[in-house]
């Protein structure tokens, strides 16, 4: 009677990316179409087998069983629709040793499901392949592990070579049409990123920036990717349409991908069987600078990171902070100056006082009105800008020759020192062999010392190249040494204090009393060096 039974069979086919990467002949053999054709030809002369359903998993790895086609087949087996499973070979069923054995050797026999792997000559109805299946499954598991190691190694090599391997690009970038592993600025979204940084530099909070973008109808990163045909799933999406919020703006402001830095390898899986992502230590990340075209200058990015750390609250009814927020400090105790608003005689006043004094932790008030502090700061800033521009004119008049000569002389001295150091290290390295022959050092000491000398020589030769490059830049006027003068030049016509000028040009303000204020400017060390060289 058993020979007369007709099995209601399921054709199961699977192909994953790693299968397609192993070689053209094998890839063709394992193609979905080839698997289906092979199974149909197999059952042509099998009157006891009738294929009633096909299940397919295209693009799913065999190292796990969380696959839609496989899950649908199991559901039909449990409902009694299927009592036979046919695959091309065991590797198409799965490459995981333990779970493959659980299904083939325990679950299927217990519920009367016949299992056939054609090219492995396995048919569980015959019962003569019990010893073969575990070994073949073990080999498939080992193959999967080997492929996983190779893929990890390939991806790591790509990361180190500056290749972008992410599935989706950061907002503001697209994949190069000619090289999918290279980031290029998105003409539209990169301008939105620039606007976000500009608004932050002008004193706006992340929430105000998000509100402004929403009011202007600018699509959020998720909605924008959807609009250009990129399908993403957002488990945290709580509205029908995802909107900009303070968190999404903060992520953009803190992401150094916008200055050309590519950081990858932050997360990984423990092994090829466990797919849960885990965080890797930061020292294991792959980080490359100047890897792709930047959309934000490094200076603006650095200034924004400084602003993100300042304790700056947006005044009620305003969309940006006060120009001096977060950079005013008590000249006596060094504590931050806090801003307070008060009403006297029906008139409002705003002033700064020492935060230690306000918290009754000692010191004195150092009280100064907001308007007076801003007026004093503006006056000092205007004077300093004028002084910097005067020195800039001195540089232009002198054609920068004396300063170039001074810099080249300093670098020449450094070059001579490095060349002498390299020569000494080479002599010591060359004499090591004679020292070993004479028994002064052992063979192990010889190897260790030779490696140390080689390392020092290599480091010094690399530094020598950097010195030569710096000299070349100075002589060809490509040096960035005096670039800071341009930052002051941008605000040469300033008549009213604004947040952008403050964060770009001022490091901090020390308040001693209402008539005694010290402004510490950015690039003060560069200014002092230039003043000394110019004899000012």
pLDDT by residue (tens digit) across 53-103? 999 998 888 777 889 999 999 999 999 999 999 999 888 888 776 788 888
At 207, give phi and psi (nearest 5°).
Answer: -65, -40
Q: pLDDT at residue 226 above 50?
A: yes
Taking the C-alpha atoms of residue 428 and residue 57, their distance in angstroms, rounded to an integer, is 65
Cα 441 to the chain's mean position, in Å? Answer: 48
What is the rounded average pLDDT of the residues 210-228? 91
What is the pTM (predicted TM-score) of this model? 0.58
Are the C-beta atoms of residues 160 and 264 closer than 8 Å to each other? no
Q: pLDDT at residue 406 above 80?
A: no
pLDDT at 398: 45
Strands 347-354 vs 337-344: parallel, antiparallel or unpaired: antiparallel
Q: What percent of the chain shows pLDDT beyond 70?
A: 81
Number of H helices, E strands in the chain: 20, 17
Q: Which is nearest to 116 in space by CA: 46, 184, 175? A: 46
Taking the C-alpha atoms of residue 73 and residue 331, their distance in angstroms, rounded to an integer, is 76
What is the rounded average pLDDT of the residues 261-278? 73
Measure the CA dihedral 173/176/177/179, to 10°: -150
Q: pLDDT at residue 500 above 90?
A: no
Q: Which is nearest to 387 in space by CA: 526, 234, 213? A: 526
Q: If pLDDT is split at 50, 70 and 90, which confidence band does 238 have?
A: very low
Q: If pLDDT is split at 50, 70 and 90, which confidence band does 395 have?
A: low
Q: Which is nearest to 192 in space by CA: 166, 176, 178, 172? A: 172
Taking the C-alpha atoms of residue 426 and residue 456, their distance in angstroms, rounded to an integer, is 10
Taking the C-alpha atoms of residue 194 and residue 202, their distance in angstroms, rounded to an integer, is 12
What is the rounded average pLDDT of the residues 375-400? 79
pLDDT at 55: 95
Q: Which of 334-338, 385-389, 395-399, 407-411 has the lowest mean pLDDT?
A: 395-399
The mean pLDDT value of the chain amounts to 82
Q: Which residues contact 494 (CB under 8 A, 6 or more apart)?
A: 378, 381, 382, 385, 501
Q: If pLDDT is split at 50, 70 and 90, which confidence band does 433 have?
A: confident
**Most trustworthy range by pLDDT among 236-245, 247-256, 468-477, 497-506:** 247-256
- pLDDT tens by residue, 77-89: 999 999 999 999 8
At 392, give phi and psi (nearest 5°).
Answer: -60, -40
pLDDT at 236: 46
pLDDT at 143: 58
Taking the C-alpha atoms of residue 203 and residue 197, their distance in angstroms, rounded to an integer, is 10
SS (H, E, C) 274-342: CCCCEECCHHHCEEECCCCCCCCCHHHHHHHHHHHHCCCCCCCCCCECCCCCCCEEECCCCCEEEEEEE
What is the rounded average pLDDT of the residues 409-418? 80
Are the C-beta atoms of residues 436 and 422 closer than 8 Å to each other? no
The helix-helix angle for 246-254 and 189-201 (nearest 10°) equals 90
Q: Which of 2-6, 53-57, 366-370, 513-517 has the lowest mean pLDDT?
A: 2-6
Q: Which residues contact 267 (CB under 8 A, 6 or more apart)?
A: 277, 278, 279, 280
Taking the C-alpha atoms of residue 324 and residue 330, their distance in angstroms, rounded to an integer, is 14
What is the rounded average pLDDT of the residues 133-141? 61
Distances (CA, A) of 337 to 328, 356, 367: 5, 9, 9
């Amino acid at each position: 009677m058993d020979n007369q039974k007709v099995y209601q069979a399921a054709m199961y086919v699977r192909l994953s990316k790693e299968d397609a990467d192993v070689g053209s002949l094998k890839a063709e053999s394992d193609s979905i179409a080839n698997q289906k054709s092979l199974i149909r030809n197999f059952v042509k002369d099998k009157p006891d087998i009738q294929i009633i359903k096909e299940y397919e998993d295209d693009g799913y790895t065999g190292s796990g069983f969380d696959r839609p086609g496989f899950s649908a087949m199991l559901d039909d087996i449990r409902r009694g629709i299927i009592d036979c499973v046919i695959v091309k070979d065991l590797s198409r069923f799965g490459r995981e040793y333990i779970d493959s054995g659980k299904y083939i050797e325990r679950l299927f026999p217990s519920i009367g499901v016949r299992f056939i792997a054609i090219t492995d000559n396995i048919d569980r109805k015959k019962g003569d392949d019990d010893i073969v299946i575990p070994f073949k499954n073990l080999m498939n598991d080992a193959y999967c592990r080997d492929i996983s190691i190779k893929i990890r190694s390939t991806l790591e090599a790509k990361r180190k070579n500056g290749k972008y391997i992410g599935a989706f690009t950061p907002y503001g970038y697209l994949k190069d049409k000619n090289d999918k592993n290279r980031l290029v600025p998105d003409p539209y979204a990169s301008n939105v990123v620039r606007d976000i940084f500009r608004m932050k530099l002008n004193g706006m909070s992340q929430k105000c920036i998000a509100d402004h973008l929403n009011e202007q109808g600018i699509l959020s990163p998720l909605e924008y990717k959807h609009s250009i045909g990129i399908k993403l799933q957002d488990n945290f999406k709580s509205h029908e349409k995802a909107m900009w919020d303070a968190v999404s703006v903060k992520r953009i402001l803190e992401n150094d991908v916008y200055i050309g830095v590519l950081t990858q390898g932050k997360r990984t899986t423990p092994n090829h069987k466990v797919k849960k992502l885990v965080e890797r230590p930061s020292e294991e990340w792959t980080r490359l600078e100047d890897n792709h075209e930047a959309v934000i200058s490094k200076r603006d990015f650095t200034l924004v990171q400084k602003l993100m750390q300042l304790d700056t609250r947006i005044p009620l009814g305003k969309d940006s902070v006060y120009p001096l927020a977060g950079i005013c400090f008590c000249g006596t105790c060094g504590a931050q100056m806090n801003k307070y608003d008060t009403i006297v005689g029906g008139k409002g006043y705003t002033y700064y006082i020492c935060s230690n004094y306000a918290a009754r932790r000692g010191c004195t008030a150092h009280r100064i009105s907001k308007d007076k502090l801003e007026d004093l700061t503006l006056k000092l800033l205007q004077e300093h800008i004028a002084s910097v521009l005067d020195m800039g004119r001195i540089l232009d008049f002198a054609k920068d020759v004396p300063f170039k000569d001074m810099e080249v002389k300093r670098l020449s001295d450094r070059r001579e020192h490095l060349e002498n150091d390299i020569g000494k290290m080479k002599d010591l390295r060359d004499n090591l062999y004679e020292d070993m022959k004479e028994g002064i050092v052992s063979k192990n000491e010889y190897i260790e010392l030779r490696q140390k000398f080689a390392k020092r020589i290599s480091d010094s030769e690399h530094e020598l190249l950097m010195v030569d490059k710096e000299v070349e830049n100075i002589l060809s006027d490509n040096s960035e040494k005096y670039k800071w003068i341009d930052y002051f030049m941008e605000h040469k016509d300033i008549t009213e204090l604004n947040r952008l000028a403050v964060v770009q040009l001022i490091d901090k303000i020390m308040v001693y009393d209402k008539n005694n204020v010290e402004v510490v400017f950015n690039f003060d060390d560069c200014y002092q060096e230039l003043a000394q060289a110019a004899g000012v």
